Structure 1
C-alpha cells in the first residue's frame, strides 16, 4: 500500500517541489493550505487538499490521519523585514509548536521538519552539524525564529516524536517566485548595480525535496542534516544570472553601511507606496555574512547529491520562462 504524507506549506516553493516528488514516487499526499492560498499549481497533481492554518492549532484537528506515515512540516515565513516580525513568530515558532502537537496527537510514525542553515546562527565559517547553535540570540529575526522553531521540534522529540531536521542552504529551482527568483527580474530590469559582500552555499530545490523524503525513510531521529553544495558570493550569483539571461551587467560589492542606508529609504518608500521593499536592513545584515555549510553527513547517510550552480540557475530560469509563456 502507498505511504501517506501530510504536508504543511504545500503551496510554497519547497512544498510544491516536495508534493511533486512524493506523487512521482507513489505516495498518497494530504496537502494543508490556508483558505486564501493560490492552489492552482497544487491542483495539477490531484492530491487531497485540506484547509487549515498552522498558527491556529484548532484548525489542524482531524486533518492528520491517525498513525500517518510522515508529517512533513515545510511551512514557514522567510521574509527579512521588521514589519512582519510578529507574523513570522506566529508562523515559524507557534506554527511549528502546533504542528508538532498535532503530529504527536495523531501518533505520526515520522516527522520531518524543514529548517534552514541560518538556525545555527551566523558563524562566518563553514557550518557543520557539530557547529554550536546560536541562532536564537541573533539580531536578525528570521534567523532567531528558525532556531526557536527547531527548539519546538526538540521538545516534541522529548515527548516521543520521531523527528528529523533538514537544514537547506540557499535554495534555487522550480516554483520559486519570491526568493532568489526575484534576482532574475531585478537583473533584467537593471536594478542590481551592487550587492552585499557576503556569499553562501546553494542547493537545488528538487534535491531538497528528495532529501526530505530520504530523511523520513533513513534519517536518524533527533539529527540535523545540512544541505549545501555550490558556493558563490552574491556578486558572483548576480553575474551568473546575467550570463544565463544573456545580458551584460556591471555588478560590484557595496559596503554594508551604504546598503543599510539605502535599505532604510526602501523600507520607508514601501510604506508610502504600499509595496514590498526590494531590499531591507535585515536582508543587508544577512547577505553581508558568509553562510557556507558542509553536506558530508547528508551525503553519507541520505545520499545527498549537490548540483552545479549553473544547473540551478538554468532550471530556475527555465521554469520562470515557462510560467511567463
Structure 2
C-alpha cells in the first residue's frame, strides 16, 4: 500500500482521515507540531512527523517517499486580529506544501477546502458550477480558503478538492460541541437566525479516500448534508438532552449589533470574543448545498440529522462532556 502524508491529523476531520487511511491499509505520516499530539497519532497506528507548514525544509523531509498528500489542516479563526496569521497558514502554508510535494515527486494532492470558498455572499444553492465568491469576501476565513483552493487548482500536481459544509459527528471537541455544551448547561443566550447543511465527518473522510482511489483528479466535490435551521438544530439538541432552549431565533440586526460591540471590546482586552462580526454574518446566512456530484461519483452519503446528532451526543457522553439527564 501507499505512504501518505496527512496534515491536520490531530484535528476533527483529520483524525477521521487518519483512521480511514489506516483502515485502507496505507502507511500514514502525519504532521505533528508538538509532542502532545504525537501520542494520539501513534496510538492509532500513524507515524508522527515533526514538521510545520511554514518550514519548507521540514516539509521536504516529511514528504520523502510519500505518494499522496491529504491536506486537512487550516486556521478557522473568525477574529480579525488573527487574519494575518490565518492567511499565512491557510494560503502560505498550502503554497509551501504544494511546492514541497512537487519537489518530492508526490503523485496526488487531496485538499480539504470548505463551502466558505464560495462565501456567504452566494445566496443560491451551492453546486460545483456556481462561481465562488470567497475572493470578494470581507471575512478573512472565506477569502483565505478561496485563495488556498485557487493555489491547489493552479498546481501542476494531480489534485482533488473537497468543499465540506457544516461538519458534525463524533470526535469534535470544539465547534458544534461547544454549542451542545451551552445547551446542556442552559447557558445558550440565543439562537442564530441562519441555517446550515450538516455533514457527517465520517462520510466526508470516506469520500476523500474513495476519490483518491478512483483517481478523480481535477475534480471538486461539495460535501453537504441535511439542511436545517439553527433553531431546529438547537431544539433537537434540547429534546435529546432534556434541556430548555430559546424558542426562536435572534433577529439578525440584534446578533450583528451585539457582535460589533463585543468585537470592539475585544480589541481593548486582547481576548478573542465568543462571537465576532464575521461569525455573526455566517450564522445569519442560509446555507444550501447540493451533494449530487459526490453522491454519484464517490458514493457519498448524507446521514440524517437526527441520527448524526445521536451519534455525536453518544460520543460526548462517553467523553464526559455532558451532564447526566435532568
Asked if TM exceeds 0.5, the reply is: yes
Q: How does 1:48-63 map to 2 (within 5 A)?
A: 48-63=47-62
- Gap change, CA 1:280 and 1:191, over 3 Å in 2: farther
- Gap change, CA 1:322 and 1:268, over 3 Å in 2: farther
Aligned to 2:179: 183
Per-residue CA distance 1:160-214 (angstroms, 9 max, x = gap): x000001111001122112111111111222224222211211111111101101
Say which of 58, 74, 77 aligns to 1:76: 74
- Gap change, CA 1:307 and 1:148, over 3 Å in 2: same
2:216 is aligned with 1:217: no
Q: How does 1:261-280 map to 2 (within 5 A)?
A: 261-268=257-264, 270=266, 275-280=271-276
Name whichever of 167-176 and 219-228 sits farther off: 219-228
Give how far 1:115 is off.
0.5
- Gap change, CA 1:15 and 1:233, over 3 Å in 2: same
Structure 1: 5+ residue stretches without partners: none
Aligned to 1:150: 149
Give how far 1:40 is off.
4.1
Contact 1:238-1:251 within 8 A present in 2 as well: no
- Gap change, CA 1:324 and 1:273, over 3 Å in 2: farther
Structure 2: 5+ residue stretches without partners: 322-326
Q: How does 1:192-203 map to 2 (within 5 A)?
A: 192-203=188-199
In structure 1, what is the Cα distance between the partners aligned to 2:247 and 2:263?
A: 23
TM-score under structure 2 length normalisation? 0.93
In structure 2, what is the Cα distance between the partners aligned to 1:277 and 1:317?
A: 26
In structure 2, what is the Cα distance between the partners aligned to 1:163 and 1:258?
A: 42
Q: How does 1:7-22 map to 2 (within 5 A)?
A: 7-22=6-21
Aligned to 2:228: 232
Give how far 1:245 is off.
1.5
Per-residue CA distance 1:38-57 (angstroms, 9 max, x = gap): 34432321311101111222
In structure 2, what is the Cα distance between the partners aligned to 1:273 and 1:38?
A: 30
Give how far 1:243 is off.
1.8
Q: Give me the CA root mean square deviation.
A: 1.8
Per-residue CA distance 1:102-141 (angstroms, 9 max, x = gap): 1111111211000111111221221000001111111111
TM-score under structure 1 length normalisation? 0.93
Aligned to 1:101: 99
Contact 1:190-1:249 within 8 A present in 2 as well: yes
Per-residue CA distance 1:261-299 (angstroms, 9 max, x = gap): 222343355566665422211100111111111011001
Give how far 1:309 is off.
0.7
Give how far 1:8 is off.
0.7
In structure 2, what is the Cα distance between the partners aligned to 1:322 and 1:43?
A: 22
In structure 1, what is the Cα distance between the partners aligned to 2:262 and 2:315?
A: 29
Classify the secondary structure of the residue corresponding to 1:113: strand
Name whichever of 313-322 and 29-38 sits farther off: 29-38
Classify the secondary structure of the residue corresponding to 1:31: strand
Classify the secondary structure of the residue corresponding to 2:274: coil
Number of residue-to-residue matches in the alignment: 320
Contact 2:134-2:145 within 8 A present in 1 as well: yes
In structure 1, what is the Cα distance between the partners aligned to 2:268 and 2:138?
A: 26
